[in-house]
Amino acid sequence: MGWPLAVSAGLMERSPRALVMALWPLTVGHLVAMLLMILPFALLITLLEWQQQIQIGASLLVIAFGVFRLANRRHPRALARIRPTQLGLWSFVVAIAHGAGLMVLPIYLGLCRASDLDRGHEAAGTLINANLSMAVVVSVIHSLAMIMAGGFLAWLVYRYLGLKFVSRSWFNLDATWAFSLILVGALSLSVSLTNPH
How far is the CA of 186 from the CAs of 55, 57, 65, 73, 162, in angstroms? 11, 11, 12, 21, 38
Distance CA 162, CA 51 (A): 48
Please give the model's pTM, rounded to 2 decimal places: 0.48
Q: What pLDDT, on the 0 to 100 scale, is given for residue 6?
A: 82
pLDDT score at 121:
57
Residue of 109, 167, 125 whose CA lies nearest to 41: 125
- Helix, strand and coil content of the chain, in percent to the nearest 5, comes to 85, 0, 15
Q: Name residues of the chain where pLDDT drops below 70.
A: 1, 75-81, 98-135, 138, 166-167, 169-172, 196-197
pLDDT for res 124: 53
CA distances from 92 to 19, 35, 89, 115, 128 (A): 46, 28, 5, 34, 27
Residue type, 169: S
Q: Which amino acid is at 151?
A: G
